[in-house]
Chain A
Amino acid sequence: MEILDLTAVELGERIRKREVSAAEAVEAVYDAFRERNRNLNAYAAFEIDPARTAAQAAQTLLDGGGASALAGVPVGVKDNISVKNCLTTCASRILQGYRAPFDATAVRKLRGAGAVPAGTLNMDEFAMGSTSETSCYGAVRNPWNVGHVPGGSSGGAAAAVAARECFCALGSDTGGSVRQPASYCGVTGFKPSYGRVSRYGLVAYGSSLDQIGPIARDVRDCAALMDVIAGADPFDATSRTFPDAGFLDALNGDIRGLRVGVPEECFGDGAEEDVKACVQEFLDELRRAGAELVSISLPFVRYAVPTYYILATAEASSNLSRFDGVKYGYRTEHYHTLEELYVRTRSEGFGKEVQKRILLGTFVLSSGYYDAYYNKALKMKQLIVDGFAEAFGRCDVMALPVSPTTAPKLGESLSDPLKMYLSDVFTVPANLAGLPGLSVPCGFDRNGLPVGAQLLGAVGADALVLNAGHAYQLATDWHTRKPEICRPPLGGDVAERQRGEAVENA
């Protein structure tokens, strides 16, 4: 078996047994980046020197007896999570050349556990998008068919994990940005409960919604990453330590008697037939493993998208006001006054989708519209939280699709952004209510594109959600499938053929 086919936990075991070194693991990922990145554009950058230095530090830790499950394992990091002295650009021209002077807490914890931050992963600019097409580095492509998007905003992370260009990665999820690309790329993604993982060092988009989460080949890898990155942090007042711990150890695969709520609204006309069929099979498998399926109702789901886009854009307009071309990043070449410097820098530095969301956010916060939009959305958030609380009185976890469709074709979504926003209908409720959410692969549509099923839990029930996903993966092998593009010689011929088909079909 090629080293890149190992899961992160399997690689960690090999490293602890001295069958593979941390240096060999990082070189394998770097080789994959150099040979394959042209196919998918999954990486924003890969600076090998700091990765090699981190691998040496990890090996020293291992040699001294430090042996966490992920010691020596390279971990890709989304381009909006700060890695000290490395490029951290949010896939935006306005952060061109910016090197973070500090590690995000999640990255610091990775290093502490001996894991090796290796490569920054492409994404939608400032995490604003569901397709990874708004990046200043160009669109990321789906490894199952390069004519399709990988989802977003953590599309580079999901594509790289699926295509065996890295073992596992850290993404961020504000409205589904870990779970939806994981679903589109046939890998596993987990959004923790809000506050479970420190946001310090994550470049803010919607601060009340943002959460760092793992993208990996299976639930075990996600649990191992959670063991490392979870916990309260003095640098993030919204972070906290929940009473449970040991996510990997808690995976016993026993879901006998688990009450799985099935929201009737999520299986209606909005979802594609193939998606519904795959998720129905997912439910049947949970039942065969001993779970009890319970029909529930989430009547507020249809209001989640408007609520989300009002709140997220409002927070974004505030958070992104700090980028002005003075302290770091891009500065326009053409200015005489400070005002000109600000306006030209921001207009040239931010992409169209980001500018649009900043303007929308300022609009919903402006006098005369504040009550009708922002305040109303905050009240809807309360109703959504209450609705989930009521539903979790009848079930332990919920199961639903991640997205109503499989991955759309490249270019299809940006022409109609409001339609793209609607595709987030099943993921944004978890962010609004701060719930943990897991995306696991559960089949393929008639075109060979992956379908994902989603499990949600009450706030703090992260381990329960992960264990339910683990039980499913013990009984199925969807998470072990790999795209044709991974086969030797490095998938270039497959990518060329799929690009040709995409052009022909267009």
Chain B
Amino acid sequence: MMTAEGLSALEALNELRLTPDEKMETLSIFRRMESYEAALQEIPTDNVEVMVHVMPLANVLRDDVQAQPFTRESLLEGAPEHTEDSWQVPRLVK
């Protein structure tokens, strides 16, 4: 069963921070989600293979040819903060 501590660990993994009210609400959803797991356990699947994709997939590799689909300027345009040629983030090393 999901606990408050377990939920805090999930928040940390996802770089999220819920308010106390949101935590309560999310915990109640988690507890009800456990009914999903119970429903699926009704069906025996020991001899069933997992299916990740509905169609057979092969890795598609393009020719190793240099290209420039985007200019640096066009990608930096969307950044909340940037220098002349890079995205800007807070200092990591003091």
Contacts and interface: CB of A to CB of B under 8 A. Distances in A.
Interface string A379-420: 111110100000000000000000000000000000001100
Contacts of B15: 324, 339, 342-343, 346
Interface in A90-139: 97-99, 101-102
Contact of B80 (A310, A331, A385): A331
A482 to B, nearest CB: 37
Interface in B1-53: 2, 6-7, 10-11, 13-18, 22, 25-26, 29-30, 32-33, 36-37, 39-41, 43, 45, 48-53
Interface stretch (A60-68, A369-377, A498-506): A369-377
A257 to B, nearest CB: 28
B90 A336 contact: yes
A226 interface: no
Most chain B CB within a 10 A radius of its CB, from A327, A341, A433: A327
Contact of A309 (B16, B36, B49): B36
Contact of B33 (A234, A329, A360, A383): A360
Given A237-B59, A326-B79, A338 B92 contact: yes
B49 to A, nearest CB: 6
B16 A330 contact: no
Given A309-B36, A359-B7, A327 B87 contact: yes
A302 B77 CA distance: 47
Contacts of B87: 326-327
The DSSP consensus for interface residues of chain B is loop
A358 interface: yes
A379 B52 contact: no
Most chain A CB within a 10 A radius of its CB, from B29, B32, B89: B89
Nearest to B12: A343
A307 B40 CA distance: 8
Contact of B43 (A303, A327, A434): A303
Contacts of A375: 50
B76 to A, nearest CB: 9
A82 to B, nearest CB: 12
Interface in A291-325: 302-303, 305-307, 309-310, 317, 321, 324-325
Given A303-B39, A324-B15, A343-B17, A363 B78 contact: no
A42 to B, nearest CB: 26
A376 to B, nearest CB: 5
A340 B17 CA distance: 10
16 contacts: A194-B54, A195-B55, A208-B54, A306-B39, A307-B40, A326-B79, A327-B87, A341-B89, A344-B17, A355-B18, A363-B33, A379-B45, A380-B40, A383-B45, A432-B54, A433-B54
B62 A379 contact: no
B65 interface: no
Contact of B37 (A208, A335, A376): A376
B14 A101 contact: no
A350 B92 contact: no
Contacts of A99: 77-78
Nearest to B92: A338
A326 B36 contact: no
Interface of B: 2, 6-7, 10-11, 13-18, 22, 25-26, 29-30, 32-33, 36-37, 39-41, 43, 45, 48-55, 57-60, 62, 69-70, 74-75, 77-81, 87, 89-90, 92
Given A325-B80, A346-B16, A383 B48 contact: yes
A379 B39 CA distance: 14
Nearest to A378: B50
Nearest to B55: A195
Interface string A419-452: 0000000000000111000000000000000000
Given A303-B40, A379-B51, A383-B43, A327 B22 contact: no
Contacts of B7: 359
A288 interface: no
Contact of A317 (B14, B26, B51): B14
A37 interface: no
Interface string A342-357: 1110110010100110
A135 B67 CA distance: 37
A280 interface: no
A305 B39 CA distance: 10
A238 interface: yes
Most chain A CB within a 10 A radius of its CB, from B10, B51, B77, B90: B51
Nearest to A96: B80
B70 A101 contact: yes
B51 A418 contact: no
Nearest to A368: B6
A56 interface: no
B78 A327 contact: yes
B14 A362 contact: yes
Nearest to A310: B36
Contact of A347 (B17, B48, B51): B17
Given A359-B7, A434-B54, A338 B78 contact: no
Contacts of B52: 208, 378
Contacts of B41: 372, 376
